[in-house]
Structure 1
Amino acid sequence: MSHRYSPEEIATVYRVIQERRDMRHFLPDPVDPDVLARLLQAAHFAPSVGFMQPWRFIRITDRALRGQIHALVEAERQQTAEQLGERSDDFMRLKVEGILECGELLVAALMDGRERHVFGRRTLPEMDLASVACAIQNLWLAARAEGLGMGWVSLFDPQQLGALLGLPPGAKAVAVLCLGHVPAFYPKPMLELENWAHRQALETLVAENTWPADI
């Protein structure tokens, strides 16, 4: 008995992975509520260390609150530029978010009380964050399959955003997610198109029995 999917289904999985993009340009069209529910369910099906399910998603529907989040991101964008030295001007020319344009805005956060979960985290406590990242990736891939774009924004002060959203002590905002319809998907990652960085060759990142040697 084979547990393998059909060739067509397998090809679709790889296609979604390869065509996923970190989107910055959005249309204002609303996201169908049923589609949004499916995407969040996909996120909730993500693996988590010790089955702790540390993800929390906050849907931002208040336009004024959107504006406040955008202001936090803009403040961090300016501070990031100051740290980039000679690349500062190049960075400031990049479009780094679509907070005011996207159809849906979500904030992904780590739950509070994570110290209770020791299974799989005793020596690697950051595995709670890895679990949330898996949930975000599930959401990202499902969105691409539904024809929607998503952008992960990490330019913000977590404490300031947490205070803005009323997060309890111990919880932590880790991502602002812009989600919605897009005019087109980038043919390559936007930062590659803008010559900010390029994808590294896989063979330089994979090794056997020891740390990869530079090739």
Structure 2
Amino acid sequence: MHNRQFTAQEQQTLRELIMLRRDIRGNNFLSDPVSAEQIHELLTAAALGPSVGFSQPWEFVVIRDNATKQRVHQDYQIETERAAGEFTTEKQAIYHQLKLEGILEAPVNIAVFYKPTTGPVLGQNSMAEAGEYSVVCAIQNMWLMARSMNLGIGWVSIINPETIAEILNAPKDRKLVAYLCVGHVKEFYSVPELETLKWEPRKPIDSFAFQEGFPESL
């Protein structure tokens, strides 16, 4: 594996994995079981993510118990009603039609936590957030590996992190970064659902990528 070089076909496969990765909603999950071996494969991919100072500051709680899922889902219902009021009337109509999570439908849920490192971390002194960013990199690894395995992942962010940490008996210093729903899916859409619904338009690259600095017009 030393100095492994990749072919154009392998690059194309990665490009397709990135292009066709999807955030899966509850109405698209199947009840087919996800094996322990498959979850281990996802966690292995996560553990290979880059981390500041090689700190590997991630912890994962794998949840299959329906009672635990029900408690998390109750919190989601509270938070989703609270969030609805922040959108315009037009978007609220779309918001209430969306199935934004798959907590109960997905066979497996995975809560991802950031574990602060005691003592200084190489590269994290000036940007403390780099530890949490490292956890996000691990999650992206999981997401792409899942897609390569034809598994879906949905990221549920409409939850109260403190409530979820309490439900899962997390130590006080842990911070919830993501709550993921994992399972087989009915179909992988060719275009992200929110893009299809015109919730937001896709931004062209030249609207967010600049050369040598930000333009004065911003």
Maintained 8 Å contact 1:43/1:139: yes
Do 1:204 and 1:213's aligned partners in 2 also have CA atoms closer than 8 Å? no
Q: Structure 2 vs 1, CA of residues 85 and 207 (structure 1 numbering), >3 Å: closer, same or farther?
A: same
1:1-215 equivalence runs, <5 A? 3-24=4-25, 25-86=28-89, 87-111=91-115, 113-114=116-117, 116-211=119-214
Q: Call closer, same or farther: CA 1:98–1:213 in 2, change over 3 Å.
A: farther
Contact 2:45 2:142 in 1 (8 A): yes
Change (3 A) 1:28 1:212: farther
Give, in angstroms, the shift of residue 198 of structure 1.
Answer: 2.0
Secondary structure of the residue that 2:147 maps to in structure 1? helix
Corresponding residue SS for 1:176: strand
Q: In the superposition, relative to structure 1, how do residues 62 and 3 fare at CA in structure 2: closer, same or farther (>3 Å)?
A: closer
Paired residue secondary structure (2:12): helix
Distance 2:194 2:118 in 1: 36
Residue 89 of structure 1 aligns to which amino acid in structure 2?
A
Distance 1:32 1:74 in 2: 28
Distance 1:213 1:60, change over 3 A: farther
Q: CA deviation at 1:3?
A: 4.8
Native 8 Å contact 1:21 1:189 kept in 2? yes
- Return 5+ residue gaps in structure 1 as ranges: none
Q: Equivalents in 1 of 2:117, 2:86: separation in Å?
A: 32
Q: Do the aligned partners of 2:69 and 2:103 also contact (CA within 8 Å) in 1?
A: yes
Q: How far, CA to CA, are the matches of 2:159 and 2:43 in structure 1? A: 23
- The answer to which of 132-141 and 84-93 deviates more is 84-93
CA offsets, 1:168-192, max 9 Å, x none? 1110112110111000001111111
CA distance in 1, matches of 2:60, 2:217: 40
2:75–2:159 contact (8 Å) kept in structure 1: yes
Output the TM-score relative to the length of structure 2.
0.92
1:119 Cα deviation after fit: 2.0
Give the number of aligned pairs: 214
The code of the aligned residue for 2:107 comes to G
TM-score normalized with structure 1 length:
0.93
Letter of the structure 1 residue corresponding to residue 111 of structure 2:
V
- Kept after mapping to 1: 8 A contact 2:79/2:158: yes
Specify every segment of 5 or more residues in structure 2 that has no aligned partner in the other structure, as ranges. none
After TM superposition, give the deviation of residue 88 of structure 1 in Å. Answer: 2.2
Q: CA deviation at 1:89?
A: 2.5
Quick check: 118-127 or 97-106, which moved more? 118-127
CA contact (8 A) 1:43 1:138 kept: yes
Where 1:109 maps in the other structure, the secondary structure is strand
Q: Aligned to 2:171, what secondary structure does the other structure show?
A: coil
- Report if aligned partners of 2:47, 2:138 keep a CA contact under 8 Å in 1: yes
| Residue identity in the other structure for 1:137 | Q
Is the contact made by 1:205 and 1:212 (CA closer than 8 Å) also made in structure 2? no
Distance 1:10 1:203 in 2: 23
Give the Cα separation in 1 of the matches to 2:215 and 2:60.
Answer: 37
What's the CA shift for 1:32? 2.3
Distance 1:214 1:92, change over 3 A: farther
